[in-house]
Amino acid sequence: MLAQHFLARAGKELGVSPKILRTETTDYMQQLPWPGNVRQLENTCRWLTVMITGREVYPEDLPSELKQVPLQKSSETSQPAPSFERISLHHWDELLSQWAIQKLKNGEMKILDIATPMFERTLINAALQQTRGRKRHAAELLGWGRNTLTRKLKELGMDSADDDDEDEHKATLSEA
């Protein structure tokens, strides 16, 4: 699965062992519609690598926005989706500390220049997923103005050709 590739790559970049998806996690993830396609999957795998302290990834470890997405109906199986009654809490700060210590032991400098963009990408992606790509609302969730989010998206190479605010404006005009 492509997710294992992204988990391995994120583990290598962060200097940690790659996470392993449990079978039930893989089954659940394969039922998701993945509106952000490959980039969304890659960002989810990076998030899991940073946020999950254990080696195995359980379905309840997935970001909350993925647990709220309606699953695609599969003709292959009629099994119900996994339950997420238990929410796992993970000590991402401990994992970040381990990552920083490892980088510093390896003689790397300016690790904040590496960590900050990764941190910002993770939060921006979470906000965009939560708002289904509505940048103005995502900026509000992050405590930024719309222009700050637009600038950060460009700085981080995350900007896209479409502008959702233009689409929202067109939708408002067509309803009038």
Give me the CATH number covering residue 32. 1.10.8.60
Please tell me which residue, 71 or 143, carries the higher pLDDT value.
Answer: 143
25 falls within a domain: yes
Give residue 154's domain range.
Answer: 2-73+89-161
Query: What is the number of residues in the chain?
Result: 176
> Is the distance from CB of 131 to CB of 137 less than 8 angstroms?
yes
* pLDDT at 175 (0 to 100): 42
Please tell me which residue, 176 or 145, carries the higher pLDDT value.
Answer: 145
Has residue 85 got a pLDDT over 90? no
State the chain's mean pLDDT as an integer: 77
* pLDDT at 138 (0 to 100): 94
Residue 125 binned pLDDT confidence (cut-offs 50, 70, 90): confident
155 falls within a domain: yes
Has residue 50 got a pLDDT over 80? yes
Task: Please give the tally of structural domains in the chain.
Answer: 1
The half-sphere exposure of 160 on its side-chain side, counting CA atoms within 13 A, is 11
Residue labelled with tokens 């292959």:
76
17 falls within a domain: yes
